[in-house]
Amino acid sequence: MMNRLSHYFINGLIVLVPIVITYFVIATVFALVEGIVESYIPLKFPGAGVALLIIVILVAGWITSTWSWASQRIISYFETVVDKIPVVKFIYNSVKRVSTMLFESKTMFSQVVLIPYPHPNVKTIGFLMPKPSSLLAPYLSKDEEYESVFLPWSLNMTSGFNVFVPKKDIIYVDISVEDAFQYILTAGGVMPGADVKADLAKIQEVKEKMEKAQQEKNMDSVENK
């Protein structure tokens, strides 16, 4: 009975934990956006802040797409003003570069790779990033082509570091980026392509067989006495 309850409990966790975490992340983001928008524009009904923000983003995208010449002049003028303010210039340019990289770059996290790190005989999983810029390329070897690879930390993919690796040393792995993310976030607990429920069911089945065998062994030893 306890084994079945344990099995049900584990299956329940597998189903509910991702749903609950996803809900709390989305709810937190929505609440944050609502708070920021409502601090400037008092709105009376739930979700109004998020809806207004989405409308503003869509309108801004429509304007830049429809009247690109006018929007480019406005943005150019705005950036000229920003460039004259040191701290604001740094923040704006940094955020703009990150936004451009995340939303426009086709090479950002596009390919899962293995590289020889931290030892030639050890392989570390990472993600292919945009190629080294023209400013960095001259400082790398002129005889070899280099690629930029991001190596995230296990259990915490918000941290990590970039390395420049000779292209000949990179192994291109045929697994999805999503599978690689799951593998890293679980510190190898969820292998790419693995059926988590099936694996846990097999583990539970083996555990039950071992417990049953141990019980039979204990009963035999009692009878022999």
Q: Are 47 and 30 in contact (CB under 8 A)?
A: yes
State pLDDT tens for residues 5-58. 766 676 676 667 767 777 787 778 777 777 777 777 776 666 676 777 778 778
CA distances from 53 to 25, 35, 41, 49, 60 (A): 18, 12, 11, 6, 11
State pLDDT tens for residues 84-95. 887 777 877 777
52-70 residues labelled b (16+ CB within 10 A) or e (exposed): beeeeeeeeeeeeeeeeee
> Model's pTM, two decimal places?
0.49
User: Residue 70 carries which side chain, given as an amino acid letter?
Assistant: A
CA distances from 23 to 20, 37, 78, 187 (A): 5, 21, 37, 23
112 burial level (CB within 10 Å; 0-12, 13-18, 19+): buried
